[in-house]
Structure 1
Amino acid sequence: MNRKTNLILILLLIGFRLSAQDRYMVFFTDKFNSSYSISSPLNFLSQRAIDRRQRQNIPIAENDLPVNQSYIDALDNLGIKTIHPTKWMNGVLVEMQSSSVNLVQALTFVEKIEYVAPGQIPVGSAGGSEVNGKLADGGATEFQNNMLGIDQMHDEGFEGQGMLVGVFDGGFQNMSQIGSLQALISSNRIVMKKNFVTNTTNIENNESHGTRVLSILAANQANVYVGAAPAANYVLCVTEAAGEYRVEEYNWLFAAEMADSTGVDVINTSLGYSTFDDASMSYTYSDMDGETTVITKASNIAATKGIALINSAGNEGNKVWHFITAPSDSKNVLSVGAVDGAGIRASFSSFGPSADNRVKPDVSALGQGTAVITATGNIAFQNGTSFSGPVMAGFATGLWQAFPDLTNLQLLDLIRRSAHQYDTPDYEIGYGIPNYAKAYELAFVPEPLENQVLVYPNPTSDSFINLVFPDGFLSESVSVSLVDMNGQQLNSFQIEPQLNNNRVQIDLTNRMSGVYILKIDGQRTSFKKKIIKY
């Protein structure tokens, strides 16, 4: 772009600066000429984040590289206010006038632009549908913790020590004033704070929802209130604003990228998205297919980085929407429903299945009459999958501490397999209520090799499918064949999986929609996997 074109753009943009500044996502075409390199990850990832990837044999990828700063600088130079970049989706959140969109779209490095929110979004209370209940007595968390066997997990020393948990929510009002959270604060175990709504580090706003969620996880006051992961470290992010617009999904994306770079192990999100104040942004139930919504796409990327994702299923069970909300529809997210003290689905808890007919919610925990600490410092019983979610996140944190060699997806699968109705799941509470003792037992019983081979995404509409071999196949010759339902062999090859090369991508570019069979023949086992392309 020459100087004359730059000058014209600048003059035009200045002329519009007094009009309303709406929020848009600007996506870039590439990361060419980046000053960063995959071979030098410490320049953009913490050692902890790199270690997490190495433990799970996850390579550093191009989407780990930061956005090309020259592209952001070019927008800044044109008078466009840039706010948060996204390396995973290669773009940046900006504020600009609607009449500037075409000018920005004309830039050679801009792929597309998406309107995500109007200007002047309220930044006050984000609200919430959880119902206040009666005040609770000391030791109130015993029931919700014991339902999952968290008491036994704590007795065995697994309280989250050394683990890093991200909590994304609407705000953490009065967090620093609450007695049961003082141990967390005084020991400097809040390692990072960020408000992505206001672009500040102030997370103690007028919204108390995150305070209650955090208390379920992190509060620790003997004989008063003990959270599910009271010894863990935390990353706290505000992603939810008062208005409902798609920008909140992108706020979650920005927070997940920051948490990933910091080295987070588990992310708890007690939020869900379906409809918005701007109806043009709203989703339908058919979009809850595990790959369509913005936040689900972001969650799927986060999962490829080795992060365990725990998300509340939603409080839509007795409303018109009825079903789970995003990102609980993702196959890579543990969706958590709510049960009452008798283990029966709470009336508000969202139903499954996902739109592509997978079991959802995945599991359930106490969400009706859950003990929380409010912004006033009182302990109360309250209702919502917002509260069953963090109970489960604390359970997952301690379980992963107990079995650190698991991958994130193996951890989530272990939790499902430990649930009380794993063999007969339903669309109300999923696989049921997990249990620590059962999970501990299962973790020491090796699965058959065929169950350890990962094939994803499946079902898929992509042009490829990934095949990941476990340690049991390392350094052994494996024959892989793709066969159609008529028994015709479409593709075959040999592979010898290695520690840092245990993934294969199978090309489905020219394959019609339908069912295919993946035949895998190893030295110790032979089996088949069904693949669905649609």
Structure 2
Amino acid sequence: MKKIMVILSALVLLLMPLQTGFAEEVKLEAKSDYLVKFNGPADQGLLNAFGVEDHDVNHTFEKLPVVALSLTEGQAKGLLNHPQIEAVEQDAEVQAFAQTTPWGISHVQGTEAQDAGHTGNGVKVAVLDTGIDCSHEDLNVSGGHSVFTDSANNDPCNDGNGHGTHVAGTVAALDNNVGVLGVAPQTDLYAVKVLSNDGSGSYSGIAEGIEWSIQNDMDVINMSLGGSQSSSILEDYTNLAYEEGLLVVAAAGNDGNRGGNNDTVGYPAKYESAMAVAAVDENNQRATFSSTGPAVEISAPGVNILSSVPGNNYDSYNGTSMASPHVAGVAAQVWAAKPDLTNVELRNLLNDTAQPLGDSNKYGSGLVQSLDAINQ
């Protein structure tokens, strides 16, 4: 008999550590937060049957039979399979939506001007480009025109290239907690499609776009485009826009060399009635591609510029095409703040308040500065 008792005692001793270890494993099983919805009144007894204790109940809702619980994975699976339970969902984490302020916007004092209440409200900016994706979540396009008649290009809201949508975002991407922020987010944007979806166009098309802008009372024209050959008719239209009171802003071109010692500014930027915009990087150094020459009038960010592209997307581009809309956006901010200025006075003010950067053939008057212009 003693022998049997000894054996039984040994068995009990062997079993005890195993039982203790199993209990500890249950206690240590990770729990996550869940939302559980009953298909009738919430039943605390049912929860208790699955081992849910009072301290596991994070919140009991009143309007719907929903309880916020801390559950193990096994408890969650068990509840999900019960006929009295309609849904078991992991309590997902949420974050505040955020938008990115591209470096160029603050670099031209765009954000400082916005903080002071200057958002370009009421100023009309015509973007003569590949069109604008009018359905983009970050853009508010007020209207537009296409110079093309073919089905692929006759809609100014169809930007099959992306260039125009990117330019538009720099001018006026909305302050809406998504995507990016533009220089003048309350500016009235107009899509004037003078370049096809493959990015090409003609001087006659640009002239037509300028004419439309004059006829439709635009305030600022942005032309992030150009060619190497002059045209007296294109010059006449550029001059006419300026004479009619519009501010004409154009990309200087991307034909510069590392030394920056050539006269490579393209047209229409090279015409006296247009502001030719050169590109600089975050260190205010001229981008090596930025065209140079006596026609360069002012500078703006044009390297690694993040902005909107079609399909509610965003991308970074380089070019004086990216610099020009910074100036157009600043012009909108300043003109909205100082509506009594003529276009000539506005142009002079932007040049007078630009931050000097050096050689005028490379930088013109320097880096455009919005708040300084507004405060002068």
TM-score of the pair, normalised by structure 1:
0.48
Q: Residue deviations 1:59-100, cap 9 Å, x none? A: xxxxxxxxxxxxxxxxxxxxxxxxxxxxxxxxxxxxxxxxxx
What is the rounded CA distance, in whole Å, between the counterparts of 1:294 and 1:244 in structure 2? 22
Q: Confirm whether residue 384 of structure 1 aligns to residue 344 of structure 2.
A: no
- Report which of the two has the higher share of helix: 2
Relative to structure 1, is the Cα distance of residues 202 and 301 closer, same or farther in structure 2, using a 3 angstrom cutoff? Answer: closer
8 Å contact from structure 1 (residues 168, 237) kept in 2: yes
Identify the residue that residue 367 of structure 1 maps to in structure 2.
Answer: 302
Alpha-carbon spacing, 1:376–1:223, altered in 2? closer, same or farther (3 Å)? closer
Aligned partner of 1:402 among 332, 337, 348: 337
Corresponding position: 1:232 with 2:151? no
Question: Partner amino acid for 1:148?
Answer: V
1:433 is the counterpart of 2:367: yes
Work out which of the residue numbers 265, 272, 277 in structure 1 matches 2:226: 272
Regions of 4+ moved over 3 Å: 137-140, 199-203, 241-245, 318-322
1:316: how far off?
0.8
Task: Name the structure 2 match of 1:124.
Answer: none
Equivalent position of 2:72 in the other structure = none
Task: Assess, with a 3 A threshold, how the Cα gap between structure 1 residues 248 and 414 changes in structure 2: closer, same or farther.
Answer: same
Greater C-alpha radius of gyration: 2
Structure 2 unaligned blocks of 5 or more:
1-96
Q: Residue 346 in 1 paired to residue 287 in 2?
A: yes
Structure 1 contact 144–370 (Cα < 8 Å) conserved: yes
**Aligned positions of 1:205-224 closer than 5 A:** 205-220=159-174, 221-222=176-177, 224=179
**CA drift at 1:378:** 2.8
Larger relative strand fraction: 1
Percent of aligned positions with the same letter in both sequences? Answer: 27
- Give the match for residue 297 of structure 1: 236
Q: Do the aligned partners of residues 197 and 368 (structure 1) sit closer, same or farther apart at CA in structure 2, a change above 3 Å counting? A: same
Q: Give the Cα–Cα distance (whole angstroms) in 1 for the partners of residues 156 and 245 of structure 2.
A: 28
Displacement, 1:253? 1.5
Secondary structure of the 2:289 match is coil
Name 1:153's counterpart in structure 2. 113
Q: Please say if residues 161 and 197 of structure 2, whose CA atoms lie closer than 8 Å, have aligned partners that are also in contact.
A: no
Q: How far apart in 2 are the matches of 1:228 and 1:441? A: 17
Paired residues for 1:82-481 under 5 Å: 139-172=99-132, 175-181=133-139, 184=140, 189-190=141-142, 192-198=143-149, 200-220=154-174, 221-222=176-177, 224-241=179-196, 248-274=202-228, 283=229, 287=230, 293-318=232-257, 323-353=264-294, 360-421=295-356, 425-442=359-376
What residue ranges of structure 1 are gaps of 5+ in the alignment? 1-136, 275-282, 354-359, 443-534
CA contact (8 A) 2:156 2:192 kept: no
Which residue in the other structure is 2:21 paired with? none
1:424-451 residue CA offsets vs partner (Å, 9 max, x unmatched)? 6521111110222322343xxxxxxxxx
Q: Is the 8 A contact 2:289 2:319 kept in 1?
A: yes
Q: Distance in 2 between matches of 1:218 and 1:204?
A: 18
Q: In the alignment, is the contact (CA less than 8 A) between 2:146 and 2:192 conserved in 1?
A: yes
Equivalent residue letter for 2:373: A
| 2:234 aligned counterpart, secondary structure | helix
Normalised TM-score (structure 2): 0.67
Partner of 2:44: none
Change (3 A) 1:370 1:243: closer
User: How far apart are the structure 1 equivalents of 2:314 and 2:198?
Assistant: 28
Q: Secondary structure at the match of 1:215?
A: helix
Which deviations, in whole Å up to 9, do the C-alpha atoms of 1:190-224 show, x marking residues without a partner?
1x321102273454042211111111122213264
